[in-house]
Amino acid sequence: MNKFLLFSVFSILTINVMAQEKIVQTAGRDQLGAFAPKFAELNDDVLFGEVWSRTDKLGLRDRSVVTIASLISQGITDNSLVFHLQSARKNGITRTEIAEIITHIGFYAGWPKAWAAFNLAKGVWAEDTAGEDAKAAFQREMIFPIGEPNTAYAQYFTGNSYLAPISREQVSISNVTFEPRCRNNWHIHRATNGGGQMLIGVAGRGWYQEEGKPAVEILPGTVIHIPANVKHWHGAAADSWFAHLAFEVPGENASNEWLKPVTDEEYGQLDQR
């Protein structure tokens, strides 16, 4: 086996130790801080700050599925379910997947409960109906497949992304597709020698940015060289689907460090044109 670890944010074959992500929640204090301060503390600091934050044990996507199933099974279809449906979408669960999840729950929890949940889920995923048509149109623009939902790394993306392995021989290559506004978290490809990543724009329009530098626009044919140990992010423009090939660069003691999401404020500063 090659002594180098070929590492990429996008590789589904990567063996990686994920850092625990801290979940920040203020809803308890915002809504009940003055009336029930202890409950607010338990909600924000324990339920979300500790339990939901154990992402090294169970990812946010899976926690969303468990929570949704529990709430629907109890017949809870109020704002708390809406919140967790919205979180599930943010954590990478697609419109097709939530429809299948609720259908499955219906056979165990009851048909009326599934109906009630569907009425809420339709609103949360409403814009994705048009998104499915846009995704199909985008696929026709490029030679490489869009692939499957990038669920393994969904917790490190804002919005939905898709992964299609292109080659796993000599050099690992993946085609990664982002829906509009989707981007990955700030991250660093660590290596003591060599390492890093190379991106080549395939279709649509996207962005690449290193910390402290202006964002670089990625169009079909644009080549981006990402050195090891450089903090950066990449993703789609606000008004365009986007796909790039990701080439893993061999390196010694390679690893990937996931950092905070790119905030809406940071993303909004880009020249989206």
d(CA 67, CA 52): 10
DSSP state at residue 4: S
Using CA atoms, how far residue 8 sits from 29, 138, 199, 202, 262, in Å, is: 39, 24, 11, 18, 19
Q: Model confidence at 43, in pLDDT bands (50, 70, 90)?
A: very high
The helix/strand/coil state of 223 is strand
Could you tell me the pTM of the whole model?
0.55
Q: Model confidence at 129, in pLDDT bands (50, 70, 90)?
A: low
pLDDT at 8 over 70: no
Instruction: Summarize pLDDT for 73-98 with one digit per residue, the tens.
Output: 999 999 999 999 999 998 888 888 89
Instruction: Summarize pLDDT for 170-214 with one digit per residue, the tens.
Output: 888 999 999 999 999 999 999 899 888 999 999 999 999 999 999
Mean pLDDT of 93-110: 93
Residue 265: phi and psi, rounded to 5, are -65, -45
Percent of the chain with pLDDT over 90: 59
Q: Is 266 exposed, middle or buried (0-12, 13-18, 19+ CB in 10 A)?
A: middle
CB-CB contact of 262 with 186 (8 Å): yes
45 token code pair: 């600091």
